[in-house]
Amino acid sequence: MPLAADFPYSIPAVPAKTFGEMWVSLLTISAPSTSSGRLQLETVPYNATTGEIGPAEGMKTIFTDNLFAVLSHPAAIKSRAAYAAILAAIPELREIITLVEAPSA
């Protein structure tokens, strides 16, 4: 049963937000052999100007079970270079992770 309010309660309007970019929140590469692999990317809305990451409701997933077929496509020039760069960075990443996560003396 509604009652008359002594003082009306107002909720201020929330300004609209624009997220013009997408933030990669998950990157998974699985390559169990030299001919089979998968890639999964999860992205969420992102505003590069404010640095704000948007709500999970805006998540988009990019997925393939045919990673090497995608990488061998003639148009995948940047993708092949990015994949090669990730692989080339692994030894350095392993060393730095070991240094950063080593117990303090």
Segment 3-30, tens digit of pLDDT: 777 888 888 888 889 999 999 999 999 9
> Residues with Cβ < 8 Å from 60, sequence gap 6 or more?
22, 42, 43, 44
Give the pTM: 0.75
What sections of the chain are H helices per DSSP? 67-71, 77-101
Segment 61-85, tens digit of pLDDT: 999 999 999 999 999 999 999 999 9
**Domain residue ranges in the chain:** 21-101
